[in-house]
Amino acid sequence: MREAKLRARTFAAATAGSALAAFAGAAFAAVLGYEAVSVALARMATPTLFARYEAETDHGAKLPPGFSRERIETLLAVQDPGFWTHGGVDWSAPLADTLAQSVTKKLYFADFKPGFGKIRQTLIAQFAVGPLISKSAQIAAFIDVSGFDSASRQWFGKPFAELDDGEFLALVAAGNEPKDYPPGTQANAERVRRIEKYLAGLCARRGFADAWLESCAD
What tens digit of pLDDT does each residue of 95-122 get? 789 999 999 999 999 999 988 899 999 9
Q: Are 149 and 106 in contact (CB under 8 A)?
A: no
Inform me whether the pLDDT recorded for 30 exceeds 80: no
Domains of the chain, CATH where assigned: 46-216 (1.10.3810.10)
Q: What angle do CA 27, 33, 34 make, to 5 degrees?
A: 90
Band (pLDDT 50/70/90 cuts) for residue 27 is very low
Q: Are 46 and 133 in contact (CB under 8 A)?
A: yes
Return the percent helix, strand and coil in the chain, to nearest 5. 65, 0, 35
**What pLDDT is stored for residue 28 in this prediction?**
43
Q: What is the mean pLDDT of the chain?
A: 86
Residue 128: name the closest of 103, 94, 93 by CA: 103
Give the DSSP letter of residue 111. S
Q: Count the neighbouring beta carbons within 10 Å of the beta carbon of residue 198.
A: 19
SS (H, E, C) 60-95: CCCCCCCCCHHHHHHHHHHHCCCCCCCCCCCCCCCC
**What pLDDT is stored for residue 88 in this prediction?**
97
Helices (H) and strands (E) in the chain, counts: 10, 0
